[in-house]
Chains A and B, each alone.
Chain A
Amino acid sequence: MNFPVLSVITFTPLVAALIMLLMPAHRKNEVRAVALAAATFALILAAWAYFTYDQSVAGYQFTEKYDWLPALGISLYFGVDGISAPLVLLTGVVMFTGVLISWGDDDKHVMAGIQDRPREFFAFLFILATGVFGVFVSLDLFMLFFFYEIAVFPMYLLIVIWGWNVTREYAAMKLTLYLFMGSVVSLVGVLAMYFMQYQTTGVLTFNMLEMETSGFPALFQIVWFLPVFLGFAVLGGIWPFHNWSPDGHVAAPTAVSMFHAGVLMKLGAFAALRVGIMLLPEGAKYWQWLVMLFAAVAVVYGAYIAFVQMDFKYMVGFSSVSHMGLVMLGFSTLNREGLLGSGLQMFSHGVMTALFFAVVGMIYDRAHTRQIPELGGMSKVMPYATVGFIIGGLVSMGMPLFSGFIAEFPIFLGVWREQWLVAVIASVSIVITAAYIMRNIRQVFFGEIPENLKGHVGDVTFLDKVAITTLCFFMIIIGLFPRFMAPMVETGVNNILRLLGGF
């Protein structure tokens, strides 16, 4: 019996959440310590799974299967492949760094991190994390959907209680309704698949691997691809259903924004890939042009909207729309390079945007404003965060030697193969991104500190620095040595290509 690493990773946050809820509310530091310990443990296991994944064998590894509701063909069936293993690692990284930056600062002037009810905050955050891990490792369609809902719901509470008090009710409502709408649509598709599978094979099962092998009729796939793919892709922030995401990002507290943009959007993209493209490959081929169109619009339009934002956090939020558009663009190519790039981009964008939101949060906690024109000179008081943001910015611009380039380059290669015009148009976003990132770096971090901020804006804490370093580490290591992740993702891509019929 092998060590059930995936279920341990998945349920560690849940157990930690329960432990925290049993602790007295005023023991804030002990609660935080439990959260940090659990996050570290999950990160170590995720890294262990990532590095022991055997790339020469490929396929689903660390599989575990427990019956859950055999009568309906539902089982707790876990396993990771080359696409999901990096995402599990990503979730571990974001969880770890999210806890670090929420630790807070006891300085009464700063009020950084989470000071209000940290016990409940971390508990909800960790329930969410369980949902995220669960989606990435599930090989059972029902379980995937089950964990998907678990991941979406705590978001509402996290935003509405700990969010930015100006828009939190509105944003939480909008986000939850949007996402539920999307998931309901895809649930109908999931059920359709379930019954179709029963009709064709006579077996009641949610097992995705079996669904892959038996395959659905072409017409069925074409009809159901769009609801399933788009339903999940709503969480991936696909245009024109991206509208909830910047509002949600902005209203959420820092760690939640990190989770949200860093991991939850990947959840949508991953589910769209796993269920939409991998189970309905014929549908994917049929609707390829539409997905490509949506994605290309998201890439350019998202970048442009980010360019005109005056609120720092909105800018980062819209930049996520643009970058997730690239992920979708890679999906839409349905070829090796494009999918490889998307797999890498999901990880790269995850760490990058987590870093962005972390730094934005650090600044907001201290300056109490996010209006870009009202900020300035932050490099003088928080040099470490400045360097972190610049590295993140370079990743965002797709600068070589950082992970963004490694991820975006293959996506564009894939698009060239399908439709060169889209590659040319989408590439415009690179220049727009460079423009808004550079403008922001200059305006927020350099120049003079405004008079009203002088004195009370201080440096970030030691834990913040650890978080920044961790996130930067992954962006640089992938940029310098694509071998760190590309061959792994490639094994997953080969599996998808097999389902697409050697497309």
Chain B
Amino acid sequence: MNFISTHLLSLILFFPALAAVMMLFLPKDENKLFRWYAFGASLVPFILSLVAWFQFKSNLPGFQFEETYVWYEAIGSSMHLGVDGLSLTMVLLTTLLTPLAILASFSISEKIKAYMMLFLFLEMGMLGVFLSLDLLIFFVFWEVGLVPMYFLINQWGSANRNYASLKFMIYTMGGSLGLLLGIQLLGVLFGTYDLVALYQNWTSLEPDSILLGMTVQTVKTVAFWAFVVAFAIKVPVWPFHTWLPDAHTEAPTAGSMILAGVLLKLGAYGFLRLILPLYPFEAKYFAGALAFLATAAIVFGAFASYAQTDFKRLVAYSSVNHMGFVVLGIAAAGLASGTPDATIALNGAILQMFNHGLSAAGMFFLVGVIYERTHTRNLEEFGGLFPLVPVYGGILIFTSMASLGLPGLNGFVSEFLVVRGSWPILPMYTAISMLGLLFTGAYILKGIMKVLHGPMNEHWAHGEHKLTEINTREILVMAPLMVLILWIGIYPAWILDVINKAVSMLF
């Protein structure tokens, strides 16, 4: 027991990878075994992160459950793990969504062993980003997550998967190049990658000293933009979002769930963990530009989503729209850091990350459910399906409403907080983004209408194409998401409390 409590984070982080390696030794062609094994293996980090969640003392400042191991001494990097309220929320989201995604992939029938192994490695990559307190380790896991995702899209995706996976890979690698160079720059300057030390050193540099032949101001501005572009691609912020609709649409269902649910959060997390604390001045100076991009993402994301005829693409663009609010909150917090409004905006942004993780994963799963049955995602080919699949219809409407921001469900709480927080700081952009919110309602209703209402497409009502109702396993995937959606909508204090304390101590 003692071992578990002293190595809690490394257990959460490495258990999936360990389980994936052990999977090599399972007998061949035992498809059922692979599925349940992977599901069981992904439940362990979830239970451990629940332990962490309940043992976490949210009123203490700084990082908790810290662990440090020697890793790459020669260049001054160590395996430093730790969580605060911000990262713990994200860890919980990741460990919750991964078992659900694995449960959702029980319908995968090809190369199951490789699929499940990749999924577990992917979980490790994502968790590593949230858990690491060392810049180099952060980058390591940041990149590691890419590879399993590439293969998940490339091997198990739909028709246009080659194009989408390569685009995803090159786009994100190109983006992380800037991050890599920025990290190298910091490493050269300070000889350490430890975040806690960097928070001190980097921000306390004399503004007029000369580094590498440039003024500190230039160096910082360049490094700032290098970081911003990397994270903006991941979030994604308009105009860096074009990889997203392709990747999301072509990925297998569970891949889309994780992509939208967690991978996009990595970018937003980068903004919160690295950009705001390391570049407070630049974040303030360039907040207007960031807010502009965020607003563009909100508005154009909503318009683009409305224009789609592919159900999955519609949901994919909705991610651009929703993640825009996260960035808007971050931009507002950067501009007015330290004020109560900024704290509210950040609370909203972080809660929005969690909420979008729940609702986007749910939406992608529901699209997957109907796609598996009909083999089409074309909205024009659906219509009036509600009487055929009432349970599915109910779940779809419930989840869509969360995404739309219906009061009483989780999306409302976080979007309200973001808007409330950024209104006094960036009134213009906030007002325009409300327009985007209007269109959020429009595209969601359009989606629901095209699928569930209107004249029934008789094709799905009879014969071999008869649409079957959502099954128990699929309901089991949705149930935890729906419970959380409702719970956060009605009583957000349990999670906001942790987030709020972290935010007020951090910024």
- Asked if A and B bind, the verdict is yes
Chain A residues with a Cβ under 8 A of chain B:
337, 340, 394, 397, 399-401, 405-406, 409-410, 412-413, 416-417, 420, 423-424, 427-428, 430-431, 434-435, 438-439, 442, 446, 482-483, 486-487, 489-490
Quick check: A438 and B143 within 8 Å, CB to CB? no
Quick check: B184 and A442 within 8 Å, CB to CB? no
Considering the complex, give the chain B residue whose CB is closest to the CB of A420: B212
Give 20 CB contacts A-B under 8 Å. Answer: A399-B144, A400-B140, A401-B144, A405-B143, A409-B136, A410-B74, A410-B75, A420-B212, A420-B213, A427-B181, A430-B177, A431-B174, A435-B166, A438-B150, A439-B166, A442-B165, A483-B71, A487-B73, A487-B74, A490-B74
Which one of B72, B144, B180, B188 lies within 8 Å of A482 (CB-CB)? Answer: B72
Quick check: B162 and A442 within 8 Å, CB to CB? yes
Give every chain B residue within 8 A of A405 (Cβ-Cβ).
Answer: 140, 143
Give every chain A residue within 8 A of B41 (Cβ-Cβ).
Answer: none
Quick check: B169 and A434 within 8 Å, CB to CB? yes
Give every chain B residue within 8 A of A446 (Cβ-Cβ).
Answer: 154-155
The distance from the CB of A2 to the nearest CB of chain B, in whole angstroms, is 29
Given contacts A399-B144, A483-B72, 6 further A-B contacts (CB under 8 A): A412-B180, A412-B181, A413-B187, A416-B185, A423-B181, A442-B162
The distance from the CB of B163 to the nearest CB of chain A, in whole angstroms, is 10
Quick check: A412 and B173 within 8 Å, CB to CB? no
Quick check: A486 and B147 within 8 Å, CB to CB? no
- Which residues of chain B from 50 to 84 have a CB within 8 Å of any chain A CB? 70-75
Q: Give the interface size bracket for B toward A.
A: 20 to 34
Task: Name which of B136, B154, B173, B212 has the most chain A CB atoms within 10 A of its CB.
Answer: B173
7 smallest beta-carbon distances between A and B, as pairs: A400-B140, A486-B74, A482-B72, A416-B188, A400-B143, A434-B173, A490-B74
Quick check: A413 and B188 within 8 Å, CB to CB? yes
Chain B residues with a Cβ under 8 A of chain A:
70-75, 136, 139-141, 143-144, 147, 150, 154-155, 162, 165-166, 169-170, 173-174, 177, 180-181, 184-185, 187-188, 212-213
Quick check: A400 and B144 within 8 Å, CB to CB? yes
Cα A483 to Cα B174 in complex, Å, equals 29
The distance from the CB of B503 to the nearest CB of chain A, in whole angstroms, is 30
Give every chain A residue within 8 A of B140 (Cβ-Cβ).
Answer: 400-401, 405
Quick check: B147 and A394 within 8 Å, CB to CB? yes
Considering the complex, give the chain B residue whose CB is closest to the CB of A414: B188
Give every chain B residue within 8 A of A397 (Cβ-Cβ).
Answer: 173
Quick check: A337 and B75 within 8 Å, CB to CB? yes
Quick check: A413 and B75 within 8 Å, CB to CB? yes
Cα A417 to Cα B184 in complex, Å, equals 10
Give every chain B residue within 8 A of A483 (Cβ-Cβ).
Answer: 70-73
Cα A416 to Cα B150 in complex, Å, equals 30
Quick check: A416 and B170 within 8 Å, CB to CB? no
Quick check: B70 and A435 within 8 Å, CB to CB? no
Cα A487 to Cα B75 in complex, Å, equals 10
Which one of A430, A438, A482 lies within 8 Å of B74 (CB-CB)? Answer: A482
Give every chain A residue within 8 A of B184 (Cβ-Cβ).
Answer: 409, 412-413, 416, 423
Considering the complex, give the chain B residue whose CB is closest to the CB of A432: B170
Quick check: B169 and A438 within 8 Å, CB to CB? yes
Quick check: B181 and A424 within 8 Å, CB to CB? yes
Give every chain A residue within 8 A of B154 (Cβ-Cβ).
Answer: 442, 446
Cα A150 to Cα B72 in complex, Å, equals 37
Task: Name which of B144, B166, B181, B184 has the most chain A CB atoms within 10 A of its CB.
Answer: B184
The answer to whether A427 and B177 touch (CB under 8 A), given A400-B139, A438-B169, A446-B154, is: yes
Give every chain A residue within 8 A of B187 (Cβ-Cβ).
Answer: 413
The distance from the CB of B192 to the nearest CB of chain A, in whole angstroms, is 12
Cα A428 to Cα B180 in complex, Å, equals 11
Which one of B72, B162, B165 lies within 8 Å of A486 (CB-CB)? Answer: B72
The distance from the CB of B162 to the nearest CB of chain A, in whole angstroms, is 6
Cα A401 to Cα B139 in complex, Å, equals 11
The distance from the CB of B314 to the nearest CB of chain A, in whole angstroms, is 28
Quick check: B188 and A340 within 8 Å, CB to CB? no
Considering the complex, give the chain B residue whose CB is closest to the CB of A416: B188
The distance from the CB of B178 to the nearest CB of chain A, in whole angstroms, is 9
Considering the complex, give the chain B residue whose CB is closest to the CB of A490: B74
